[in-house]
Structure 1
Amino acid sequence: MMPRRISAMLAAAVAFAGLAPAPAAAQLFFYNPDFKGGPVEASDPIVGEPLPGATLAEQRAALLWNFRAAMNVSALQCQSSYMRATQNYNGFIAHHATELAAAYAALGKYFLRVSGPKGANLFDQYSTRTYNSFSTMNIQGFCQISTNALKSGLRVPKGELAPFALAHIREVRSSLAPAFDKPLAYNPYAVQVPQLPNLGEDCWNKANELTARCGGAGGEDSGKKRRG
């Protein structure tokens, strides 16, 4: 078969394949799992490890520290280039540096207040357990939710990270559970399959061009009779 004829067939095949459904660039599921979301209070157990005797300000600091830990784990685990987890995390930390530093200082003072000289070491252990609490083998759901939170967090004004964390920490925690996609269902009305042109021998002229009669742009040869 001549190269021009092969090219025409390949073009038709590409046109057909181009209509196949595909997930969005930053989407890990065709159908989003139902991760439970909604705002929480800073004292809600879902935030993280409880801090006995903590004030409201210290509980909010713990909330921010847990949320920061989740975003850090996201940057380490979600390494797909289109998610930009590492780049967005670096921007997130820089953008909210003042608020996160204040949360770190408040937690440090809490552990010193309740544990005395052992406080610094206990704070380190608490931080390690906090990071580990966001580690999961079911990273698809966690990566989808956490990287979206990272991107959205970049748009949160400085000094307003705590309300954002309160609104998203439940969904981030929920995404640690196993999540599975639903099977795709063929919908003939959603996917229109194009009709391929007639590629029979009678559709080509002497220059190996697909004729207009068969969906191409080539002319008919003079004196050529159509078969059949």
Structure 2
Amino acid sequence: MTVLRSVLATVMAAGVLAASPASAQFFMKSHDFSGEPVRGDEPGIGLDLPDATEAELTAGLVWNLRAALNIAALQCQFAPTLLTVPQYNGMMIDHAAELKSTYATLAKYFARKNKAPKAAQNALDQFGTRIYGSFSTTAAQYGFCQVASNIGRDAIFLPRGSLHTLAKQRMREFRNALVPWGEQRFPRGIGFDRTILVPRMDPICWKKDEWNTKTCGPTVQWVVR
């Protein structure tokens, strides 16, 4: 009976796995968006933070990562198997302490750069708004959503307090995914044989609308175009 139960359990488990939905796959082969790790002050990676310390640059990267995953949770719900919503929610819970310290670091940076508290808060708010806007995409949505799903999955399995390492390692990939790419397995477009047969149109071969048999032969001649 023990052997029979084991066999039945294996069959049932296989059935459950077969019935579970696969992660969304938009292409036979997706574009490789991976890139080198970053510090945070490279062109095109994030918003400029003049005179920022290394800790402040790192905080900027973490806030970029948070914003990107938030945008994905909002924009990628057309493909629920990507799990961008639960991934974002899980990341916010698991890494709440690091996100809180990240926000505090950014607040201190803008307070240092702006003497008036109100100006500092406005600058911080504008920083966050502009980051969100920089990740919004329509044309590149498929690639962006797939990358966001992969990065979001890694985020929820990270040890707490190490979200900054993921931001440094994957932020270039996130930015690369904002450029639209299509199917990589096959070349873009579909090839067509555009050669056609047309009758020979030399004026000498036609007399009004009839083929001139005296000059060009007894039957209409066809040529490839």
Shift of 1:44: 2.1
Match of 2:173 among 166, 171, 174: 171
Separation (CA, whole Å) in 2 of partners of 1:132 and 1:81:
23
Separation (CA, whole Å) in 1 of partners of 2:101 and 2:44:
22
Separation (CA, whole Å) in 1 of partners of 2:45 and 2:185:
33
Match of 2:66 in 1: 68
Greater share of strand residues, 1 or 2?
2
Separation (CA, whole Å) in 1 of partners of 2:173 and 2:62:
15
Aligned ranges 1:148-227 → 2 under 5 Å: 148-182=150-184
Match of 1:103 in 2: 102
Shift of 1:76: 0.5
Cα RMSD (Å) of the superposition?
A: 1.8
Q: Check the 8 A contact 2:69/2:152 in 1, yes or no.
A: yes
Match of 1:139 in 2: 141
Give 5+ residue unaligned stretches, structure 1.
1-23, 186-228
Q: Check the 8 A contact 2:40/2:46 in 1, yes or no.
A: no
Match of 1:126 in 2: 127
Separation (CA, whole Å) in 1 of partners of 2:36 and 2:28:
23
Q: Check the 8 A contact 2:91/2:156 in 1, yes or no.
A: yes
Deviations 1:106-133 (A, max 9, x none): 1011111101221101110111000000
Match of 1:25 in 2: 23
Q: Residue type of the partner of 1:155?
A: F
Farther off after superposition, 166-175 or 25-34: 25-34
Separation (CA, whole Å) in 2 of partners of 1:81 and 1:36:
23
Match of 1:56 in 2: 54
Match of 1:190 in 2: none
Shift of 1:178: 0.8
Shift of 1:47: 2.6
- TM-score after normalising by structure 2: 0.69
Q: Residue type of the partner of 1:135?
A: S
Q: Check the 8 A contact 2:148/2:174 in 1, yes or no.
A: yes
Match of 2:75 in 1: 77
Q: Residue type of the partner of 1:110?
A: Y
Q: Residue type of the partner of 1:127?
A: G
Q: Residue type of the partner of 1:125?
A: Q
Q: How many residues align?
A: 163
- TM-score after normalising by structure 1: 0.68
Shift of 1:182: 3.5
Percent of counterpart pairs with the same letter? 42
Separation (CA, whole Å) in 2 of partners of 1:59 and 1:100:
14
